Amino acid sequence: ASTEGTLICLLLVALLVSHMLLTKEGVTSLPICPKGSVSCQLSLEELFDRAVKLSHYIHFLSSEIFNEFDERYAQGRGFIAKAVNSCHTASLTTPEDKEQAQQIHHEDLLNLILGVLRSWNDPLIHLASEVQRIKEAPETILWKAVEIEEQNKRLLEGMEKIVGRVHSGVVENDIYTPWDGLPSLQLADEDSRLFAFYNLLHCLRRDSHKIDNYLKVLKCRLIHDNNC
């Protein structure tokens, strides 16, 4: 019995040690703020950290889904040649180069980011549902579409929190462009329908890259004082 006891003890110790080691490496656990708790507040740095992580993840997924879609459906259809397209968010005047990004006020930039994210809310929902109707759509594309839609929602929430912290005045909610591309995703002609998807995914990749970039610029500017 004593040997068994010692064995159990050793096992427990081993488990404990391994748990400690595992939780130390790699996983940077973000502090958990229980909902509704007033006193618990994430610092702005942490909020930006999370936002940048999310935006990077969304852009990564968007790139992948675009590449997969391109490989699978767009080859030989000459979509690229027609890709001089306009995204539905083109009406939002966002900074197009570093100069403009440096010069724009951070509140305006935050509002712009919010506007782009809101404008993508609707298309992403429909993308996730319509992409299931593409015949023989690979599973990876399907789950990525769903994942992007979910993460976009989370990023939107995070951004609203950040805006709430950073904004001194009234939060503007009017930056938004509606999306009317749903019929094009439901066209009967397969070629046209796939082209619509291609365009949408191309726009998604571009806009997610924009948002990722703007957030990083803002983070370096506000948190690290331009010294990332």
Partner 1 sequence: MDLRHLLFTLALICANDSLSASDDILQRPQISKCRSPEMETFSCFWTAGNFYNLTVPRILQLLYKKSNEEDWKECPDYITSGQNSCYFNASYTSVWTPYCVQLASKKEVYDKKCFSVDEIVLPDPPVHLNWTLLNTSQTGIHGDIQVRWDPPPTADVRKGWITLEYELQYKEVNETKWNELKPRLSTMAPLYSLKTARDYEIRIRSRQRTSEKFGEFSEILYVSFSQIGIGCDHCTEEVEFPWFLVVVFGVCGLAVTVISIMLSKQPRLKMLIFPPVPVPKIKGIDPDLLKKGKLDEVNSILACHDSYKAQLYCDDLWVEFIELDIEDPEEKNRASDTDRLLSEDDLKSHSCLGTKDDDSGRASCCEPDIPETDFSASDTCDATSDSDQFKKATEKEEDLLCLERQDNDESLPDLASTDPQHQHRNTESENSSVWAPFEDSVESPHLSVHTQISNQNSLTSTDFYAQVSDITPAGRVVLSPGQKSKLGRAQREGCTEQNFTMDNTYFCEADVKKCIAVTSQEENEPRVQEQGYNEDGYFTTESLTTTVANLGAPTAAAPSSEMPVADYTSIHIVQSPQGLVLNATALPVPDKEFNVSCGYVSTDQLNKIMP
Tokens of residue 67, six digits? 């590449």
> Min. distance of Cβ 158 from partner 1 in angstroms?
18
Is 85 among the residues that bind partner 1 (CB under 8 A)? yes
Q: What is the smallest separation between the CB atom of 227 and partner 1, expressed in angstroms?
A: 6
* 165-204 binders of partner 1 (CB under 8 A): none
In whole angstroms, give the CA distance from residue 30 to residue 128.
Answer: 29
The Cα–Cα gap between 69 and 118 comes to 24
Q: Are 102 and 207 in contact (CB under 8 A)?
A: no
Residue from 2, 28, 168, 227 touching partner 1 (CB under 8 A): that is 227
Plot region of 32 (φ>0 → left; ψ -120 to 50 → alpha; else → beta): beta
Q: How far is the CB of 122 from partner 1 (least distance, A)?
A: 21
Among residues 126 and 209, whose Cβ is nearest to partner 1?
209
Single residue of 53, 126, 167, 216 touching partner 1 by CB under 8 A? 216
Give every CB contact of residue 218 below 8 A, 6+ residues apart in sequence: 48, 106, 109, 110
Structure-token pair, residue 142: 């399907």
Q: Under the rule (CB under 8 A), what is the footprint of partner 1?
A: 56, 59-60, 63, 80-81, 83-86, 94, 96-99, 101-102, 206, 209-210, 212-213, 216-221, 226-228
